[in-house]
Amino acid sequence: MSLLSETDLADALQKLPGWTREENAICRHYVFSTFMKAIAFIDAIAPLAEAADHHPDLRNVYNRVTVCLSTHDAGGITQKDMDLARRIEDVRSQ
C-alpha cells in the first residue's frame, strides 16, 4: 500500500475531526467518564483492528485513550489508516 500524499492526507484528516498527524501516524485522544468506559472502547475497537489486520498503538491512562495509526510496512500513513480511523469513529459515536 502506498503512502498518502500530503494533499490527500490533509483532505482525509478534514473528514476525521479530532484526528491529527503526529509524525508518521494519525492520532486521536479520547476522554471517557470512567476507566471502565475507556476500556470498553478499547474492547470495541479491537475486533475492528483484528479484522483489518491493522493494529493501532493504544495508550490508556485512567479515563483517557490515545489511538495512533500508521502502516508500518509502508513507513507512514496510508488509506488503510484512514479506513480504520473512520471505523473507530463509528464505534465512538454509538
Domains of the chain in start order, with CATH, are 6-92 (3.30.1360.20)
Q: Is the pLDDT of residue 91 over 80?
A: yes
pLDDT value at residue 32: 97
Whether 57 contacts 78, CB under 8 Å: no
pLDDT value at residue 93: 82
Q: What is d(CA 94, CA 11) in angstroms, rounded to the nearest whole number?
A: 25
Q: Is the pLDDT of residue 94 over 90?
A: no
Banded model confidence at residue 88, pLDDT cuts 50, 70, 90: very high
- Nearest partner of 58 among 14, 27, 21, judged by Cα: 27
State pLDDT tens for residues 38-61.
Answer: 999 999 999 999 999 999 999 999
Q: What is d(CA 67, CA 42) in angstroms, rounded to the nearest whole number?
A: 9
pTM: predicted TM-score of the whole model, two decimal places: 0.93
* Lookup: cell for 57: 498503538
* Lookup: cell for 19: 484526528
Q: What is d(CA 36, CA 89) in angstroms, rounded to the nearest whole number?
A: 19
